[in-house]
C-alpha cells in the first residue's frame, strides 16, 4: 500500500536568496525562515554562520556544494518525506544561479514535494538594473571560462544581438582578477559594444565603469580590478567574425618583427589581449617572418 503523506504532512524545501555584500538586503521573510527550518543546507556552513549570527538564529546546518550535491539528494528527499522543512542557501545571492542547488531542486520537484522560493539579491539583475544598458532582452551566462582561448570561442558563440536584430544585454560573471583580461579581449572581439563593469555591488566600493571596451580598459585602475564584478555587454550588431579579425593580429606581429620585439613576451601579451591561442600566434609569427618585407 502506498504510504505517500497527504499534502498537509508533506515537507517543504525553501530556496532562500541571501545578500551579495550588504546584510541589510536580507528580506524579513528570509530572516524569519532561517530561524524556522529543521535543516539549512549551506554552500559553506562557516560562511553562512556569519549571516545566521547577524540574524541571531542557529538552525541545524549541513553543507551542500558542487562536490556532494548528488549524494545529499536521497537524504533530503527522505527528510521531506518525513515532513521536515529544509532551507537552501548559497554563500551569496540566489542559490542555483552559478551556485549549487539546481540538481537538488529538480529532484525535490520531481518527487512532488512542495518547493517555495524566497527571492532576493541576484548580482546579474542588480548590476543590469543599475547599468543603464538595454534591460530587456538580457541573457545570463554565468562564469566565463578562465583560459583566453576557450573564452574567445565562448564569447563569440554568445555575444549576439536579440533575435529580432535589436540590442540585447549579456551578463557574465568574472572574478575581479580576470576583469582586465576579459575587457582586453572584448577590445578585439567586439570593439563596438557598450560595456559596463559593475563592481562590488551593494558594498562600500560599489562602482560602474562604462563605455566601449577600449575606454573601459583605459579607465580600469588596479583597485577596480579587485573584488567581485559582473560584466554587462550590450550587443546591437553581430560581432566581427574571427576571419575578419586575423589581419589585426597580423599587423601587430608584422610591426613587432620590424621593430625586433622580444618574441616570447610579445606573443604572451598579444594572446592575453586578443584571446587568440599562443601557438596560433607563433605560427603566424613564423609565417610572417618568412615573408619578404
Q: How many CA atoms lie within 13 A of 117 on its CB side?
A: 11
> In this structure, what C-alpha cell is assigned to residue 64?
551542500
Given the complex with ligand SAM, which of 161 and 175 has the nearer CB atom? 175
Given the complex with ligand SAM, which of 88 and 249 has the nearer CB atom? 88
| Closest chain position to ligand SAM (CB) | 93
Given the complex with ligand SAM, which of 226 and 263 has the nearer CB atom? 226
Give me the least distance between CB of 173 and ligand SAM, in Å please: 3
Give me the least distance between CB of 60 and ligand SAM, in Å please: 23
> In this structure, what C-alpha cell is assigned to residue 97?
544561479
Given the complex with ligand SAM, which of 128 and 174 has the nearer CB atom? 174
Give me the least distance between CB of 202 and ligand SAM, in Å please: 6
Give me the least distance between CB of 238 and ligand SAM, in Å please: 26
Judge residue 262's burial from the number of C-beta atoms within 10 Å of its C-beta, 0-12 exposed, 13-18 middle, 19 or more buried: exposed
How far apart (Å, rounded) are the C-alpha atoms in residues 95 and 19? 11
Given the complex with ligand SAM, which of 128 and 189 has the nearer CB atom? 128
Given the complex with ligand SAM, which of 90 and 217 has the nearer CB atom? 90
How far apart (Å, rounded) are the C-alpha atoms in residues 201 and 224? 12
How far apart (Å, rounded) are the C-alpha atoms in residues 41 and 48? 10
Give me the least distance between CB of 225 and ligand SAM, in Å please: 13
Given the complex with ligand SAM, which of 174 and 186 has the nearer CB atom? 174
Give me the least distance between CB of 21 and ligand SAM, in Å please: 4
- Which residues in this chain contact ligand SAM in the complex, by CB under 6 A? 20-21, 90, 92-94, 97-99, 122-124, 173-175, 198-203, 228-230
Give me the least distance between CB of 213 and ligand SAM, in Å please: 18
Amino acid at each position: 500500500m502506498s504510504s505517500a503523506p497527504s499534502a498537509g504532512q508533506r515537507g517543504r524545501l525553501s530556496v532562500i536568496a541571501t545578500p551579495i555584500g550588504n546584510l541589510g538586503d536580507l528580506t524579513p521573510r528570509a530572516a524569519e525562515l532561517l530561524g524556522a527550518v529543521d535543516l539549512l543546507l549551506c554552500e559553506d556552513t562557516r560562511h553562512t554562520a556569519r549571516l545566521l549570527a547577524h540574524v541571531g538564529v542557529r538552525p541545524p546546518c549541513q553543507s551542500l556544494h558542487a562536490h556532494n550535491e548528488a549524494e545529499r539528494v536521497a537524504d533530503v528527499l527522505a527528510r521531506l518525506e518525513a515532513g521536515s522543512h529544509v532551507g537552501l542557501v548559497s554563500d551569496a545571492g540566489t542559490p542555483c544561479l552559478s551556485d549549487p542547488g539546481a540538481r537538488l531542486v529538480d529532484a525535490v520537484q520531481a518527487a512532488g514535494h512542495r518547493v517555495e522560493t524566497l527571492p532576493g539579491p541576484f548580482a546579474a539583475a542588480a548590476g543590469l538594473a543599475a547599468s543603464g544598458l538595454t534591460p530587456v532582452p538580457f541573457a545570463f551566462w554565468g562564469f566565463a571560462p578562465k583560459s583566453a582561448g576557450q573564452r574567445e570561442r565562448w564569447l563569440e558563440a554568445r555575444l549576439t544581438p536579440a533575435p529580432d536584430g535589436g540590442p540585447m544585454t549579456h551578463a557574465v560573471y568574472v572574478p575581479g582578477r580576470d576583469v582586465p583580461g576579459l575587457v582586453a579581449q572584448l577590445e578585439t572581439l567586439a570593439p563596438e559594444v557598450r560595456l559596463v563593469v559593475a563592481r562590488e555591488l551593494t558594498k562600500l566600493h560599489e562602482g560602474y565603469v562604462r563605455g566601449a571596451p577600449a575606454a573601459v580598459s583605459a579607465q580600469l585602475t588596479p583597485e577596480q580590478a579587485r573584488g567581485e564584478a559582473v560584466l554587462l555587454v550590450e550587443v546591437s550588431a553581430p560581432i566581427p567574425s574571427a576571419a575578419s579579425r586575423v589581419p589585426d593580429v597580423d599587423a601587430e606581429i608584422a610591426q613587432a618583427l620590424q621593430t625586433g620585439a622580444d618574441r616570447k613576451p610579445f606573443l604572451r601579451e598579444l594572446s592575453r589581449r586578443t584571446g587568440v591561442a599562443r601557438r596560433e600566434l607563433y605560427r603566424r609569427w613564423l609565417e610572417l617572418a618568412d615573408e619578404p618585407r
